[in-house]
Amino acid sequence: MRLSELLDSDVTDRNGQRIGHVHDVQLVQDGPPLGTWGAAFRLEGLVVGPGSIGTRLGIARPEVKGPWILKLLFARRRSSRILIPWDRVRDIGDKHISADCVADECQGALERP
């Protein structure tokens, strides 16, 4: 499975309701050891939301302070993003992913980078 197959996929919840699409994939470094690198990056969850260019551009992160006009234009929708833990992902199709939960419970209590 490639990262590009996940990104941009439409995500629906248990009831077939559309949640949004995959903006990014959250990784955590606690997998089995790989070569000289160390612990592999494990796929922890999918960052899903209605979409904001601010996320992809990295403007939405709180540590990025400006410029004010770009934050205003692109960063306001960060709050609506949902992190779906990998174990709640039921099925991965062609640019379509279904999750085994409804939006509210999907939101895992995962830490963010």
Partner 1 sequence: MDPPARGRRLYAALHLLDRQILDADSMMAGKVDDLEFESAHDGAAPVVTDILSGVGALGPRLGGRLGRWLTGIHRRLRPEPEPGPARISFGVVKKLDNHVELSLHRSELENNQLEAWTRDNLIAHIPGASDAPE
Partner 2 sequence: MLTTEARRQSEVLLGVRSAATGRRLLILVLLVVSASCVQPVGPARTFDSYKHKAKDTAETALSSVETARLGARAAKRDDVFPSFLSVLLGEAEDEAMSAQSTFDSVQPPNKRSDRLRDRLDALLVRATDALSQARIAARRADLDEVARQARPLARSSRELNRFVEAQK
Partner 3 sequence: MKKLLGVTLGILTAIGGFLDIGDIVTAAVTGARFRMSLAWAVALGVVGIVIYAEMAGRVATVSHRPVFDLVRERVGARLGLANLLASYLVTFLTLAAEVAGVALALQLASDVNYLLWIPLVGFLVWLVIWRVKFETMENVFGLIGLALIVMAVALWQLHPDWSSLWHSASHPEVTSGEGTPTYFYYAIALFGATMTPYEVFFFSSGAVEERWQRNDLMLNRANVYLGFPLGGLLTLTLMALTAVVFAPMNITVEHLSQAALPTSLALGKVGLALIIIGFFAATFSAALETGLSAGYTISQYFGWQWGKFVRPLGAARFHAVVLISLVGAVLLALTAIDPVKLTEYTVVLAAAALPLTYFPILVVANDPDFMGDKVNSRFSNAIASIYMVILVVVSLATIPLMIATKAGA
Return residues touching partner 1 (CB under 8 A): 1-4, 7, 23-32, 34-44, 47, 55-56, 58, 86-87, 111-113
Angle (CA) 35-40-46 rounded to 5° is: 155
Give which of partner 2, partner 3, partner 1, none residue 59 binds (C-beta under 5 to 8 Å, depending on kind): partner 3
Give the DSSP H or E segment for 91.
Answer: strand 89-93
Q: How many CB atoms are closer than 10 A to CB 108?
A: 17
Give which of partner 3, partner 1, partner 2, none residue 98 binds (C-beta under 5 to 8 Å, depending on kind): none
The answer, yes or no, to whether the previous bond of 85 is cis (omega within 30 of 0) is no
Footprint on this chain of partner 2 (rule: CB under 8 A): 4, 7-8, 20-23, 50-53, 55-56, 74
